[in-house]
Amino acid sequence: MEQTIVRKLREIEKNEHVRILLAVESGSRAWGFPSTDSDYDVRFIYIRQKEDYLRLEKTRDVIELPLDDVLDINGWDLQKTLRLFRKSNPTLFEWFSSPIVYMETPFAETFRTMMGNYFSTKRSLYHYIHMAEKNKREYLEGDLVKVKKYFYVLRPVLACRWILKK
């Protein structure tokens, strides 16, 4: 599957005229609890050609491939990434900490070394608390709940514990 993912990412680079700086797995596979029906949640950071940033018209800052049963691929433009970085966006920190890396440039390692300087405990705790509350409402309110859905609530709660301890 990794070869298929890398091939799709190369197609994105060619079709969108971008360069992918980092591509990782971000879903249950990266968290260590995929189920038999888990898809691949591929997330990436990309940079456009210089001319695209000099246009007066705003260029879309997200690339999303249509979902199928196996692949969920989307990425953020570098400008969007930097704005979210400044705000200590926890999702961005997760992407750069993923144990499953599909593509990586020297940019990614440089970025990782700077991330600790911009981590906000408060913002991250709010993010994960709201995620746990939302996931509880969406996934745990029915009569029959899949075990995996409990992890969707438990994971952000454990992330809060980890943030408070570390």
pLDDT digits (tens, 9 = 90+) for 138-159: 888 878 888 778 888 998 999 9
**Conformation bin of residue 53: beta by default, left when phi > 0, alpha when psi is -120 to 50:** alpha
The model's pTM: 0.85
What was the pLDDT predicted at 82? Answer: 92
**How many whole angstroms separate alpha carbon 12 and alpha carbon 20?**
9
Residue type, 127: H
C-beta atoms surrounding 12 within 10 Å: 21
Fill in the DSSP letter of residue 22.
E
Name 75's bridge partners: 44, 63
Cα–Cα distances (Å) from 31 to 71, 100, 134, 144, in that order, read 17, 10, 19, 23
